C-alpha cells in the first residue's frame, strides 16, 4: 500500500485478512458514517448538548482506529473528555474543526485506496 499521511490500513488489512472486497465495504461504511458523526458533533456543540456530544465523540474513536487515523485520536479523546466535564466549549469547537479537516484529508486518501484496490 502506498504511504499516506492520515491513514494506516494495517489494522483493516489484518481484520479483513486482506480481502479487498471487505476492505472496500468497511472503507465505504466509514466514508458514510464519519462525516455524519462530525456533522452531528458540530450540531451538538452548537446546542451545548454535552452528553450526546460525548457519546458521539466516543463512537467516532473506534471508527478512526479501524482506518488507522491515529493522528486525530487525541483530539477526539479531548472532545469526549471536555464534553463529559462540560468545560472548554471554545476548545471543543477548535478540536472538532481539526477533526473535520483531518478527516477530509483521510477521506480523500481512502477514496484513493478504493480506486487502487477495486
Judged against a pLDDT cut of 70, whether residue 1 lies above it is answered with no
Residue 8: strand, helix, or coil? coil
Region 10-117: CATH code: 1.20.120
Average pLDDT value for the chain: 95
Residue 76: strand, helix, or coil? helix
Comparing CA positions, the residue from 75, 61, 69 lying closest to residue 11 is: 69
Rounded to whole angstroms, the Cα distance separating 66 from 95 reads: 20
Contact 99, 5 (CB under 8 A): no
pLDDT at 101: 96
CA distances (Å), origin 5, targets 23, 27, 80, 83, 93: 19, 16, 24, 28, 24
The pTM assigned to this predicted structure is 0.92
pLDDT, tens digit, 9 for 90 and up, residues 35-68? 999 999 999 999 999 999 999 999 999 999 999 9
Amino acid at each position: 500500500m502506498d504511504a499516506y499521511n492520515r491513514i494506516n490500513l494495517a489494522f483493516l488489512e489484518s481484520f479483513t485478512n486482506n480481502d479487498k472486497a471487505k476492505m472496500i465495504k468497511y472503507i465505504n461504511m466509514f466514508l458514510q458514517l464519519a462525516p455524519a458523526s462530525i456533522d452531528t458533533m458540530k450540531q451538538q456543540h452548537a446546542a451545548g448538548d454535552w452528553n450526546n456530544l460525548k457519546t458521539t465523540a466516543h463512537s467516532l474513536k473506534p471508527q478512526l482506529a479501524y482506518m488507522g487515523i491515529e493522528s486525530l485520536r487525541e483530539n477526539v479523546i479531548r472532545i469526549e473528555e471536555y464534553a463529559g466535564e462540560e468545560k472548554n466549549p471554545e476548545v471543543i469547537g477548535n478540536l472538532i474543526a481539526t477533526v473535520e479537516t483531518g478527516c477530509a484529508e483521510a477521506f480523500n486518501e481512502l477514496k484513493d485506496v478504493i480506486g487502487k484496490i477495486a
